[in-house]
Amino acid sequence: MTPDLAQLPQARMLAQASDSAFCNIVQLIYRSASYEGQSKDFEFSRCTMVEHWRAGYDDATVTLAHPEVLALPNSAQGVAIYDFLTKPC
């Protein structure tokens, strides 16, 4: 930001309101099994849901086994994004 721009009242207000917090973003994306077709969009049987919940639990377990997701990023980064692929797509 240029010095002239930084002196504008709007820029000063935004600087005061901004939060320099650090955070980790962990992506847990359901990756469908190879045998699932288009029915995954409307097939919600108990068996299917238990399978999906188990996949989510397994993904979360694998992700939380990586200690870096629990550590805040350094000030140069500010935000860290993680996505640990547990199954091939």
Residues 29 and 67: their CA atoms lie apart, in Å, by: 19
- Please provide residue 50's backbone torsions phi and psi, each rounded to the nearest 5 degrees: -60, -40
- List, for residues 2-46, the tens digit of each pLDDT value: 888 889 999 989 888 887 778 888 888 877 777 777 776 788 889
- List, for residues 58-86, the tens digit of each pLDDT value: 888 988 899 988 888 876 778 888 888 75
Least Cα distance to 60 among 29, 22, 24, 23 occurs for 29
Single-letter residue type at 5: L
Percent of the chain with pLDDT over 70: 93
pTM equals: 0.58
Q: Where are the domains of the chain?
A: 20-82
79-82/23-26 β-pairing: parallel
